[in-house]
Amino acid sequence: MLASPVRLRKTAAVIATFSFVAALAGCSTPQTVVQAQKTAVDALPNGIAVRPADGALFITDDRTSSVLSSHGGAFSPYAAIPVGVAQGKSLSQITFAQSGALLAERFGFGTASAIFEVSGNGTAVALSGPNPARRRLGLVELAPGQLLSTWFIKTGSNPPQGALSLVTYDGATHAATERDLLTGLGKPVGIAVSGGNVFVSDQANGNILKANLGALLSSPAPVTPTVFARVDSPDLMTVDSEGRLYTKCNKNGLCAIAPDGTVSVMANDFQDARGVAIDAAHHVLYAVDRGPSSGGTSYVRSFPIK
């Protein structure tokens, strides 16, 4: 059972930085590691989101192919996401649209990826049109009816080939079209939009990439991004109001990346850091600490942020 979001926030607010320091590989400046609240959750989570309206927490569960929610107590089922034909259960990023609807991605394992809009009653409707062969990971709403999605295609033993695309859809019919904005990536996972720029974590190449969003949207062809920071094994990503990025780093770490590209370690004792989300109203960062798929305990951890 997971402690309530309110209790997590209160606990996180009084946690102080302790004196253990670690240096990130490739970063010469020692960084202070922050101790955080760690609460067990009965799920195999990946994505996580905070509903802006009330601060409720939502996580995916790959054991049941569903989204779970916590409104001040234990997590309970919120929406079932259909499993692809002859495919395993694997959900990626979840995020909230300005309309209040929850948006969720199914990874799809190369044949059955999909993007779903989940209404307030928990009904999940897939967008029609996007290529199901694209293994989808990151998801951000850019504007009503416009989403940014990261994906990759992998054939046999060949290296993955990925991109960032713009998905435009009709809210009534759920018909969608897709246009590639950034190509030539390895395994792009997380997405964050801040200050007119879009940031993408490329897990295969250990890069955080940066591109001007306006240039991407106006260009008739995909644009080449620049490397903003080097991080080993980044994953899903979020950004705070001051432009700091947060994502997995190294085998067991969680890192913050300052607006100037400086990388600092927040924790180095994760089993497997996955989704991250910010409760902006209470200045708390939530991070998924995923346990082993074969059996083990997963956690939602909370960190106080500025």
pLDDT for the residue 176: 98
DSSP 242-266: TS-EEEEETTTEEEEE-TTS-EEEE
Q: How far apart are CA 236 and CA 82, in angstroms?
A: 22
pLDDT for the residue 33: 62
Q: How far apart are CA 9 and CA 30, in angstroms?
A: 27
Contact 259, 272 (CB under 8 A): no
pLDDT for the residue 34: 58
Q: How far apart are CA 299 and CA 226, in angstroms?
A: 34
- Average per-residue pLDDT for the chain: 89
Contact 41, 299 (CB under 8 A): yes
pLDDT in tens, 23-75: 333 443 335 565 668 889 999 999 999 999 999 999 999 999 999 999 878 99
Contact 247, 239 (CB under 8 A): no
Contact 151, 134 (CB under 8 A): yes
Mean pLDDT along residues 204-227: 95
pLDDT in tens, 69-122: 998 789 999 999 999 887 889 999 999 999 999 999 999 999 999 999 999 889
Phi, psi dihedral angles at 280 (to 5 degrees): -65, -35
Question: Is 0.85 topped by the overall pTM?
Answer: yes
pLDDT in tens, 122-162: 999 999 999 999 999 999 999 999 999 999 999 888 899 99
Assigned token pair, 24 = 């990130």
Q: 5-304 has which fold?
A: Neuraminidase (2.120.10)
pLDDT for the residue 12: 39
Structure confidence at residue 178 as a pLDDT band (50, 70, 90): very high
